Structure 1
């Protein structure tokens, strides 16, 4: 069966990337709003209701509107916005979350695609909280850097217009209320909001997310080997996983910790660096903010849902 796929918002950054990834597929039919009707809500509604799966690449309010336009019980949805990531009735589109998540996504009618920033920290922290190596109320800090495509069309246009005059390193989220905090807290199984300090670099895409851990105040301080083993064991044998866990090594620096290393792929590679004497650890995820962080994740979820339809 050829599934009908509608990308609502196909001309935005994520939508264009998804369409590119799907362009040569023979198992799907991409349907689109005719150019002359692009501003018509009725035209979008027709495509939404004609699709087997609709992928929403829209701002939050527009994504909610699109869901409200679906009048049947057959169109399934993958929402790439923030609108439904912690909403009741929506399955979180991170197949690596646990051993049941891939099946839950495959069977779901409504899937919320994860944000780029939360995915790496969730991938690093959830196994440690689940294994009891970190308490749920551990004071978590997240920092890192992403390409300017993570800021959407406005930031892309701004950076490309400034060229070499664009900032090489730009901190943001200084209000300490990043919109991805609710999803990071919920799916990492944390009992308190993390402190998140993101930055943008003068490159188009790719990212590094880091979680530094001060372990010395814990009643029982886990060793680096335990942290690494818990993360590796969590992802071992997951058929739906695109995550890789790097070996536990004592390194001063590594060429693998480079934001653009996995651009154009759906790979996420996790690293654990430790100093057991100091009771400190540094957890790092490297991935493409437009790959596993956005469009790649959407296609991964789409394939799971299509598999359930086959």
Structure 2
């Protein structure tokens, strides 16, 4: 099989890098290039490798990602295209947001972009729920939005993973209660929100999986829609999507976070009570799949369609 693209995963030993590598197993058309461990901090060696690849995927802390982007930019016409899985460039000028389902035009924007930012896991669920409703006029851009979420501990970094795996972490923990979570900027921008939402994340004692939810007072929305109207708007937006599905709400009124683990799927539901005129929007995804490495591979495939 002919090679369609040469890539370098900068930060391949981290959780997202390992996830991308695993998803690329069995994809011989994508040639993975790397540096030996003893040369990973050698700027000259990295520069030469960046010149040799079509796309570099950054799975690095934010500052390190910015350093690699600056190094690539110094190569001029020899610079590779960049897919950044860090938080560093998600709302930066000149970067294309890597959520293909954002709008009908987004896949082509990703396909032709030189710089693509992979979305955050929480942001993926929140934006998937909110943006179609804003675009449809069912949710005002200045509506006061509150978002709750729970994730598996695998998204918390090496220290958190180690604490959970050795039994030293709590069964459940709310965090980021200073209300400055790093995903807020992209949720507001790409969710189409003029008003900064309140975001309250938490982590549970399970390795991976995620639920993102937003409670809604239906009578506070423009035109006082029914819960079924919100579901219909989501269904219309994602009708042609391969990975995003709008599902009926469970009759039990319960939902668990782990059934999509290992996939790049995202499921959206609208739970509602018309008597009370209340609704809860819920997104389910694998925080390591559609929330990280799965989304990166989806974006990579779009980008390589142009590179091939």
Q: 1:91 aligns with which of 85, 96, 99?
A: 96
Q: State whether residues 207 and 286 of structure 1, in contact with CA within 8 Å, keep that contact through their aligned partners in structure 2.
A: yes
- For the aligned residue pairs, the C-alpha RMSD in angstroms reads 1.4
Is the counterpart of residue 59 in structure 1 residue 64 in structure 2?
no
Task: Provide the residue aligned with 2:260 in structure 1.
Answer: 262
Secondary structure of the structure 2 residue equivalent to 1:126: helix
Task: Provide the residue aligned with 2:160 in structure 1.
Answer: 155
Task: Provide the residue aligned with 1:229 in structure 2.
Answer: 232
Task: Provide the residue aligned with 1:20 in structure 2.
Answer: 22
In structure 2, relative to structure 1, the CA distance for the partners of 1:219 and 1:114 (3 Å cut) is closer
Q: Please give the per-residue CA displacement for 1:173-223, whole angstroms capped at 9, x wherever unaligned.
A: 110111110100000100111111100011111111111112323452111
Q: State whether residues 144 and 210 of structure 1, in contact with CA within 8 Å, keep that contact through their aligned partners in structure 2.
A: yes
In structure 2, relative to structure 1, the CA distance for the partners of 1:153 and 1:45 (3 Å cut) is farther
Task: Provide the residue aligned with 2:41 in structure 1.
Answer: 39
Distance 1:61 1:45 in 2: 17
Distance 2:46 2:251 in 1: 52
Task: Provide the residue aligned with 1:166 in structure 2.
Answer: 169
Distance 1:8 1:218 in 2: 44
Q: Which runs of 5+ in 2 are unaligned?
A: none
Distance 1:48 1:152 in 2: 26
TM-score, length of structure 1 as denominator length: 0.94
Q: Please give the per-residue CA displacement for 1:45-77, whole angstroms capped at 9, x wherever unaligned.
A: 222222101000001110010011111335111
Distance 2:301 2:169 in 1: 38
Is the counterpart of residue 253 in structure 1 residue 276 in structure 2?
no
Task: Provide the residue aligned with 2:298 in structure 1.
Answer: 300
Shift of 1:277: 2.1
How many residues in Structure 1 have an aligned counterpart in Structure 2?
Answer: 303
Shift of 1:265: 0.6
Task: Provide the residue aligned with 1:72 in structure 2.
Answer: 76
In structure 2, relative to structure 1, the CA distance for the partners of 1:250 and 1:171 (3 Å cut) is closer
Distance 1:8 1:44 in 2: 9
Q: State whether residues 221 and 279 of structure 1, in contact with CA within 8 Å, keep that contact through their aligned partners in structure 2.
A: no
Shift of 1:250: 6.8
In structure 2, relative to structure 1, the CA distance for the partners of 1:148 and 1:128 (3 Å cut) is same
